[in-house]
Amino acid sequence: MSETPVFPELRNDRFLRALQRQPVDITPVWMMRQAGRYLPEYRATRADAGSFMDLCRNQDFACEVTLQPLERFPLDAAILFSDILTVPDAMDLGLYFETGEGPKFRKVVRTLADVEALPVPDVERDLDYVMRAVTRIRHALNGRVPLIGFSGSPWTLATYMVEGGSSKDFRHIKSMLYANAEALHLLLDKLAHTVTEYLNAQIRAGAQAVQIFDTWGGVLSTPAYLEFSLRYMEQIVHGLIREHQGRKIPVILFTKNGAQWLESMAATGADALGLDWTYEIGAARQRVGHRVALQGNMDPSALFGSPASIRAEVARILDSFGTGDGHIFNLGHGISQYADPEHAKAFVQAVHELSPAYHK
């Protein structure tokens, strides 16, 4: 973008302060996939857009669905509505979505020649629709809450590019890892450079924090995780814009099923680590809470319970984390498309009502 946009002053910054382990009055809360299929208004907008990628590529539609959950719930952050696969899509792999089957690519990347032939996108040009959406959303938020930008991790993006879509056994990429590590490292390095530029472009366009989603890092052994996933996320963290327009830009790393590597993740320079629901947040705080903020980590399936049981689970997690700052409440993964919006509302309200006692 040629000019740096100017935005209204932020009125609720407790999310950004919590990411930096600064004092807050209430534990801030947002939900991964908070704009999505569980909301009837999202489904209506998705139908108007014509396809999922048309929804992502239209800045007005992307803005509309980003704001929809904020109209229902008193959330403390908005997250850009987009998809992690916009980056490989910009590498001319032919992204498409089959109903009921998830994302697929018409071309796959499995050899050194495939990797070498991959174009490196100009993110400002090839993904300009994302930057336009970021700026449009920031203006529409009008300072209400911060806006989070995001990307998939290089390892997670590579899994889709090598497998050709979703996978249960990761056979092709693990074969590449063990039989052709040179090609995989070249692919991951290309992706790390692209993701760094992509997130920096989002920051310049108006994102006030960024999250790196490492959805599939947890399928790796410890040596493989450190070499093929965390190494490249750390490279990205070191290449990011960390202050923009007078404010620090916090970075969140989220590796699903990655609690065994918390200390290594905390050493990357990230400001916060996301936790899934399989590890106790109090134990995570004892291990790394003096170095990073923690985000999470209620099981998304808890939203299928009653409002009373949701409130009890929120209370349990708040008590597990304990008093003090550095906690951003979230689900341990994305909200289910089958979740009742009224239960999501009960979840957010419970966080805001119960958490002040932990910030005295």
| Residues placed in the known binding site for substrate | 33-37, 83, 160, 215, 333
User: Is there a contact between 314 and 354 (Cβ–Cβ < 8 Å)?
Assistant: yes
| Residues placed in the known binding site | 33-37, 83, 160, 215, 333
* Selected catalytic residue, list 43, 83, 129, 316: 83
User: Is there a contact between 5 and 336 (Cβ–Cβ < 8 Å)?
Assistant: no
42 is catalytic: no
Q: DSSP secondary-structure letter at 171?
A: H
Radius of gyration of the CA atoms of the chain, in A: 19
126 is catalytic: no
46 is catalytic: yes
* Selected catalytic residue, list 160, 198, 232, 279: 160
Tell me the C-alpha to C-alpha distance, in Å, between residue 286 and each of 26, 106, 130, 320, 341.
21, 46, 38, 11, 33
Nearest C-alpha neighbor of 155 from the set 87, 82, 230, 259: 230
Provide the sign of the torsion angle of the four alpha carbons 310, 315, 316, 317, taken in this order: positive
User: Is there a contact between 336 and 300 (Cβ–Cβ < 8 Å)?
Assistant: yes
Nearest C-alpha neighbor of 219 from the set 267, 148, 266, 153: 153
198 is catalytic: no
83 is catalytic: yes
In a 10 Å sphere around its CB, with 0-12 CB exposed, 13-18 middle and 19+ buried, how is residue 14 labelled?
Answer: buried
Which position has the token pair 């992204």? 95
Helices (H), the chain: 14-19, 40-49, 52-57, 59-72, 86-89, 112-117, 123-126, 128-141, 154-163, 171-179, 181-205, 222-225, 231-239, 262-266, 281-288, 307-321, 341-354
- Return d(Cα 56, Cα 81) in angstroms, integer: 7
* Selected catalytic residue, list 46, 57, 132, 285: 46
User: What backbone phi and psi angles, to 5 degrees, belong to 180?
Assistant: -150, 55
Helix axes 154-163, 231-239, angle to 10 degrees: 120
Q: Please state the separation of Cα 229 from the chain's center in Å.
A: 16
Tell me which residues are annotated as active site. 33, 37, 46, 83, 160
